[in-house]
Chains A and B, each alone.
Chain A
């Protein structure tokens, strides 16, 4: 048997195109108990050359996919096997070993200048690395080659129009599949801009594949381009595939508050204060048209309805600027007063579960004698773990430290207060329901003309309900 193996190998070296001899060599080596060498011979026979020999070799190969080292051993036996080397390169790409894959493809394109597939793949890799000068000659090979389908795949990546070459119809679905594969490889390897290019090409080739817009959404999301991510998630949430649609819809809802062109929100905040022995109710209904960050919003306020046009900056690092101009209509006496407001708000939270939260609001209100108010609220405390048995009930214990000042030195608007608080409730993607109980001890900082005692205690119970769509 050893002699047979020796002569099979010699015979194959003499006539390397006779791939069946490689199968015979593999079988002889198997019979000799030399499994690795047998694997190398059979693997080499199973790729490239006669399809009959390839199929015959498959009968003796294990059902699993070969390992990289087995490919390398087969290539050591049959270094001129272009198909085998190309497949190794694809395997290495799958494993994100891009450099090694490139090296194999360089050998492929060097030894087999007619191998359009290898040239195209190497060209794609160069393109992904933005080495267009190296990529284009390779892609040109594929474009000028006889494989019309491959040429169209290259055109898709280069954003060129598809052609029906050699009388064959273009096959956009197959191309989309290939391009999508490239996109996934780029995404997995962290080459997000390449991934975006491939994904857009795949989207053009096969608009019916909703996994592509979903992937586009996530890629833009990772790139912090949430406006684009929001749009692609919106496309993907219409997928007929339930899982794709669910995933996309969840992501879309999370981004919607910031990026929806039309946004509706409402909140309602009744507060009981023992200091004032009264219940104050605040609420707002707001519809925003996200026109280049110019919202337009009517809302309810105090004892009046304020119909206004306003503008707000996008929140940056917790800082928001806003301004409104409109008319306040009292729903008690129906008086109409001009109303101009503007302000700045800063909201920052640090830490979890031990946290520190600070909220600063600076407000200019024309209707209150052109007054400028500053209200600083600080809370430090501990976020308790959510209670899963109660639909993830959230709660926190904290200590308040608040300061109010204004430019007109109104006694009611200048005070300091401190004390414990407890808040609990539920927060979902489009709603929130929170109940807060605070016990505060305070002191007015303006004594002149102040009709109230200088110190006060205040038990505040407030309910927050917000909804947005």
Chain B
């Protein structure tokens, strides 16, 4: 069996003297028999394990021996990650001193105020660093460096004081970020993420500033809290229109996010008779939501009328019907939070079961009675959801481009949700084809503390029972968790990147709640984390890439895809359709390019006379940003009205189509 030292020596002999290309940097090799969590860390943004001769990133764990070849290799472009104490780390100037420190809390230079706490403290030597090394993280109380590095030549060295932990994020959330700061660029991009936008938290943001940032972070659609705009208000309405226009101009779709049975503050105030009741018969004002009794015909009619007006009044691309069931996560345990208990619900139940459902909190505490109430409640929630899906589907007559999304708490991985909330996905999934909606599974708060790999299991349970697996999505809540979780209360850094990666690998669509809670350092890495690639291989002078949903490949020049000039590329990324494609350098840019496309690209071609042809499908409108001013649009061979959002963004119809866009 070869020792670590032998492995390192072999790596030096085999491939380290070869000049790396950008592609070789996308492969990593952990030169140790115990790779630890390094593969999970590096894979979170798409780096793949490679043999040492093909790798551009090398992880050398404690005890690795020094060699002058490493310095030369780094100068030629290798990225070297050194863990802990070793003669190699010492040769680069990272040497342990005599003082020992207790490390339990980390101060990250990019976010000093962020509380990063290790569940289990470590005793470590205080290391000396080479002159000029940049310190990325320190121990909070002693200031001892824990993560540092420096660029050298075309490569860089990153040193980390200790094992990153079993999952890769327990101690140093921003390892990938540090590598990026040192010049290491992840290999792929995705532009398919969804994100929620809560106007209550973002009332004053400048849409023109944020829209391009959202798009470059890979966000394809923004789901905007629509209840803030339920009642017309000139100032607010103007802001929302500005937001939608800015998003469209920069290639971001905008969905109306509804949180029924919460309607709006104003509706709650104006229609007290419509307020939902808890099992204590109090008005159901639970947390921030003020719930309305949608079983009452008058109240429901008023809400439906208001929603219709809301959808028609703004240029939405879709509607997200979210969390339309009852409260609360504590179920029968908490009558003060248990809904519904409005008069209509009680009457309907009494007619069917012969007793008042509220009695289960009083005279009827037997399990059978409770079961009857809970089943009836789940049926009621499903009936409400279907009624509302049908109502929204009707709106497609006026706005045929509207996409529909049903955000539904997971009740398959965490089966307690059905009784707690009345949420029953088994009743809703069969409706996906009838109403053509995306079923967005909400990650329940009860399992937020579990690791990122839970998404694979959640997806498996839904795919098994859904005939439209292609319309499944997962909603990741990026918020402070109430559980005792480490190292950060809220997902950030490697943990978040791994979550996105697992979710994107398991589900066709990933939504993030919410865009404001995503910490600034994470924003540039969302797109690489969401980019799923089945296979990527360097062949001759090009790259063969196989991806399930399409992917962006960083490239600064023109390219040929499958031997033909490729028109879907901006100055830094080439966007490929799903499937296997061969990409190689070309001599010149096509006369017209699609700089950004928000839809599922099936194929693209340069068409004669300054035109570009796109074959795509999209559950809502699709947006294409063109490098030159568009002049004409053909859809499936027919002349179509050229709808634009700003100078270069063309709105394309919903569905599967062939669009030819001709530039002036």
Interface residues of A, Cβ cutoff 8 Å to B: 50-52, 54-56, 58
A55 adjacent to B104 (CB under 8 Å): yes
Q: A285 CA to B484 CA in the complex, in Å?
A: 78
B183 → A minimal CB distance (Å): 32
Question: Can you list, as one digit per residue, whether each of B91-128 has a CB less than 8 Å from chain A (1) or not (0)?
Answer: 00000000000001100000000010111010000000
A51 adjacent to B141 (CB under 8 Å): no
A168 → B minimal CB distance (Å): 13
A89 → B minimal CB distance (Å): 19
Q: A304 CA to B521 CA in the complex, in Å?
A: 94
Name the B residues within 8 Å of A58 (CB-CB).
Answer: 105, 141
Across the interface, name the chain B residue whose C-beta is closest to A49: B484
A56 adjacent to B119 (CB under 8 Å): no
Kindly list 9 other residue pairs between chains A and B, CB separation below 8 angstroms, not including A55-B105, A55-B115.
A50-B484, A51-B104, A51-B118, A51-B119, A51-B121, A52-B117, A52-B489, A56-B115, A58-B105
Question: Can you list, as one digit per residue, whether each of B126-144 has a CB less than 8 Å from chain A (1) or not (0)?
Answer: 0000000000000011000
Name the B residues within 8 Å of A56 (CB-CB).
Answer: 115
Q: Does B486 contact A (CB under 8 A)?
A: yes
Q: Identify 22 residue pairs between A and B in the complex whose beta-carbon atoms are under 8 Å apart, listed by A's number.
A: A50-B484, A51-B104, A51-B117, A51-B118, A51-B119, A51-B121, A51-B486, A52-B115, A52-B117, A52-B484, A52-B486, A52-B489, A54-B104, A54-B117, A55-B104, A55-B105, A55-B115, A55-B117, A55-B140, A56-B115, A58-B105, A58-B141
Q: A54 CA to B121 CA in the complex, in Å?
A: 12
Name the B residues within 8 Å of A55 (CB-CB).
Answer: 104-105, 115, 117, 140
Across the interface, name the chain B residue whose C-beta is closest to A52: B117
Q: A55 CA to B486 CA in the complex, in Å?
A: 12
B662 → A minimal CB distance (Å): 59
Name the A residues within 8 Å of B105 (CB-CB).
Answer: 55, 58
B519 → A minimal CB distance (Å): 17
Q: A50 CA to B140 CA in the complex, in Å?
A: 17
Q: Kindly list the 6 A-B residue pairs having the minimum CB-CB distance in the complex, ordered from nearest.
A: A55-B117, A55-B105, A51-B117, A50-B484, A52-B117, A51-B119
Name the A residues within 8 Å of B115 (CB-CB).
Answer: 52, 55-56
Q: A51 CA to B105 CA in the complex, in Å?
A: 9
Q: A51 CA to B115 CA in the complex, in Å?
A: 11
A68 → B minimal CB distance (Å): 21
Within 608-629 of B, Cβ neighbours of A (below 8 Å) are at none
Name the A residues within 8 Å of B140 (CB-CB).
Answer: 55
Q: A56 CA to B141 CA in the complex, in Å?
A: 12
Q: A54 CA to B115 CA in the complex, in Å?
A: 11
Q: A55 CA to B117 CA in the complex, in Å?
A: 7
Name the A residues within 8 Å of B484 (CB-CB).
Answer: 50, 52
Within 125-170 of B, Cβ neighbours of A (below 8 Å) are at 140-141
Q: A51 CA to B141 CA in the complex, in Å?
A: 15
Name the A residues within 8 Å of B141 (CB-CB).
Answer: 58
A148 → B minimal CB distance (Å): 14
B148 → A minimal CB distance (Å): 22
Name the B residues within 8 Å of A54 (CB-CB).
Answer: 104, 117
A359 → B minimal CB distance (Å): 52
Q: A433 CA to B653 CA in the complex, in Å?
A: 112
Name the B residues within 8 Å of A51 (CB-CB).
Answer: 104, 117-119, 121, 486
Name the A residues within 8 Å of B489 (CB-CB).
Answer: 52
Q: A427 CA to B449 CA in the complex, in Å?
A: 75
Q: A55 CA to B105 CA in the complex, in Å?
A: 7
Across the interface, name the chain B residue whose C-beta is closest to A56: B115
A173 → B minimal CB distance (Å): 11
Name the A residues within 8 Å of B119 (CB-CB).
Answer: 51
Across the interface, name the chain A residue whose C-beta is closest to B488: A52
B605 → A minimal CB distance (Å): 55
Within 357-401 of B, Cβ neighbours of A (below 8 Å) are at none
A257 → B minimal CB distance (Å): 36
A31 → B minimal CB distance (Å): 21
A63 → B minimal CB distance (Å): 9
Q: A51 CA to B140 CA in the complex, in Å?
A: 14
Select the residue from A50, A54, A55 with max chain B CB neighbours within 10 A: A55
Name the A residues within 8 Å of B486 (CB-CB).
Answer: 51-52
Within 572-620 of B, Cβ neighbours of A (below 8 Å) are at none
A183 → B minimal CB distance (Å): 19
A303 → B minimal CB distance (Å): 63
Name the A residues within 8 Å of B118 (CB-CB).
Answer: 51
Select the residue from B104, B115, B117, B119 with max chain A CB neighbours within 10 A: B117
Q: A52 CA to B118 CA in the complex, in Å?
A: 8
Q: A50 CA to B105 CA in the complex, in Å?
A: 13
B34 → A minimal CB distance (Å): 12
Name the B residues within 8 Å of A50 (CB-CB).
Answer: 484
Name the B residues within 8 Å of A52 (CB-CB).
Answer: 115, 117, 484, 486, 489
Q: A56 CA to B104 CA in the complex, in Å?
A: 12
Q: A56 CA to B113 CA in the complex, in Å?
A: 11
A339 → B minimal CB distance (Å): 61
A73 → B minimal CB distance (Å): 23
Q: A245 CA to B353 CA in the complex, in Å?
A: 91
A13 → B minimal CB distance (Å): 19
B66 → A minimal CB distance (Å): 22
Q: A395 CA to B72 CA in the complex, in Å?
A: 71
A59 → B minimal CB distance (Å): 9
A211 → B minimal CB distance (Å): 13
B486 → A minimal CB distance (Å): 7
Within 156-201 of B, Cβ neighbours of A (below 8 Å) are at none
Across the interface, name the chain A residue whose C-beta is closest to B119: A51
Across the interface, name the chain A residue whose C-beta is closest to B485: A52
Q: A56 CA to B119 CA in the complex, in Å?
A: 13
B367 → A minimal CB distance (Å): 28
B430 → A minimal CB distance (Å): 42
Select the residue from A51, A56, A58 with max chain B CB neighbours within 10 A: A51
B343 → A minimal CB distance (Å): 34
Within 483-521 of B, Cβ neighbours of A (below 8 Å) are at 484, 486, 489
B480 → A minimal CB distance (Å): 10
Q: A50 CA to B120 CA in the complex, in Å?
A: 11
Question: Can you list, as one digit per residue, whether each of B237-261 has a CB less than 8 Å from chain A (1) or not (0)?
Answer: 0000000000000000000000000
Name the A residues within 8 Å of B121 (CB-CB).
Answer: 51
A56 → B minimal CB distance (Å): 7
Across the interface, name the chain A residue whose C-beta is closest to B486: A51
B100 → A minimal CB distance (Å): 10
Q: A464 CA to B275 CA in the complex, in Å?
A: 113
Name the A residues within 8 Å of B104 (CB-CB).
Answer: 51, 54-55
Q: A51 CA to B487 CA in the complex, in Å?
A: 9
Across the interface, name the chain A residue whose C-beta is closest to B482: A18
Q: A55 CA to B140 CA in the complex, in Å?
A: 10
Q: A58 CA to B489 CA in the complex, in Å?
A: 17
Across the interface, name the chain B residue whose C-beta is closest to A19: B484
A23 → B minimal CB distance (Å): 12
B36 → A minimal CB distance (Å): 15
A127 → B minimal CB distance (Å): 25
B21 → A minimal CB distance (Å): 41
A242 → B minimal CB distance (Å): 14
A45 → B minimal CB distance (Å): 13
B457 → A minimal CB distance (Å): 26
B122 → A minimal CB distance (Å): 11
Across the interface, name the chain A residue whose C-beta is closest to B105: A55
Q: A52 CA to B480 CA in the complex, in Å?
A: 12
B107 → A minimal CB distance (Å): 11
Q: A52 CA to B489 CA in the complex, in Å?
A: 8
Q: A56 CA to B140 CA in the complex, in Å?
A: 12
B330 → A minimal CB distance (Å): 15
Q: A51 CA to B485 CA in the complex, in Å?
A: 9
Select the residue from A52, A54, A56, A58 with max chain B CB neighbours within 10 A: A52
Q: A293 CA to B118 CA in the complex, in Å?
A: 61
Q: A52 CA to B104 CA in the complex, in Å?
A: 10
Within 266-295 of B, Cβ neighbours of A (below 8 Å) are at none
Q: A180 CA to B104 CA in the complex, in Å?
A: 24
Q: A82 CA to B158 CA in the complex, in Å?
A: 40
Q: A429 CA to B20 CA in the complex, in Å?
A: 68
